[in-house]
Amino acid sequence: MEERLQKVLAQAGVASRREAEGYILAGRVKVNGKVVKELGTKVGPDAFIMVDGHPIHRERKTYLLFYKPRGVVTTMKDPEGRKTVADYVKDIPQRVYPVGRLDYNTEGLLLLTNDGELAQALTHPSHEVDKTYEVTVPGIVPQEKLDLLRVGVKLEDGMTAPAVVVLTGYDYEKNLTHFTVTIHEGRNRQVRRMCDAIGFPVRYLRRVMMGTLTLDGLRRGDCRELFHEEIEELRAACGLKRNPEGKAERAVERKPERRTEGQSARKPEHRTKRRAEEKPEYKGTARTKRTAGLRANRENAAKPNYKKKES
């Protein structure tokens, strides 16, 4: 895929995009041996670029699936000194960034990448990429309250789109309700605010699915690269073209290495033993499986095909 020259220079860390435009206009940039002075110039992945006679090394596209634990900030730096997602990808040479956000007390699936086109497409509401959350709230939630989530509730920033809500169980002993919510919008703290709107504030929240990606095989703090097929499925879900070379620049074709919580990503040849992970404190969790009719299910609030985990 071709990209604007100034964008490529900025991604390579040469300068900001605005500064890169100045370099181009000043005739300091060559592409395949020729000086380029037009800001609209686009270059392919194989273009040889030089700035002031020095070759530019372009970053390879990298796609990471991260199981964010609670108590981790979804940024690369935190002025308060709290743990961030950057602490889990210290050994990754590429500069990756989170796609969307999970708040400090929410755990679950988070995508990290340096593919700006895909990141923008995934977070744009017009593409309606599904995100599924497991929710635990205190109290026994009646069906009529869950129905409000299914048809949409009024928030400060407007009505929410209809959601797919599946009740996965009541815990009468602990006075808790467990259910899953599938939405395609990306508003700030949306699921928490939806639950607040029906009078049942969230006690536990975990994102378990985004598009076709799931947490299968990952533990809290784990990070793995996406498979080539997973990247192409995400691009298709967003209406993006397949990789022009038919292969992702940074994708694996085998089962990736997993890590224990608190460790940074390791090279494939390094393997570490994992400690046993604490099970979630609630019962009746659900493992989501995407079906071809999920979009239609949202419209008529029918239940998608969820398979319960053993408690």
Positive or negative torsion for Cα 272, 72, 285, 295: negative
Q: Among all chains, which residue has been given the structure tokens 């085998």?
A: 254
Asked if 130 and 290 count as a contact pair (C-beta separation under 8 A), the reply is yes
Decide the pairing of beta strands 131-138 and 213-214: unpaired
**Cross-strand bridge partners of residue 132:** 182, 209
Q: Please, what is the angle between helix 190-197 and helix 143-151, to 10°?
A: 130
Residues 101 and 199: their CA atoms lie apart, in Å, by: 24
Stretch (H or E) spanning 197: helix 190-197
Give residue 250's Cα distance to chain centre. 17
Handedness of CA 255, 261, 267, 271 (dihedral sign): negative
Tokens in use for 283?
Answer: 């019962």
Nearest to 161 by CA among 171, 152, 170: 152
Taking a C-beta distance cutoff of 8 angstroms, is the pair 52, 11 a contact?
no
- Are 164 and 181 within 8 A, CB to CB? yes
Tokens standing for residue 59: 């970053």
Annotated catalytic residue: which of 46, 52, 78, 103?
A: 103
Query: Does 115 participate in catalysis according to the annotation?
Result: no
Active site residues: 103
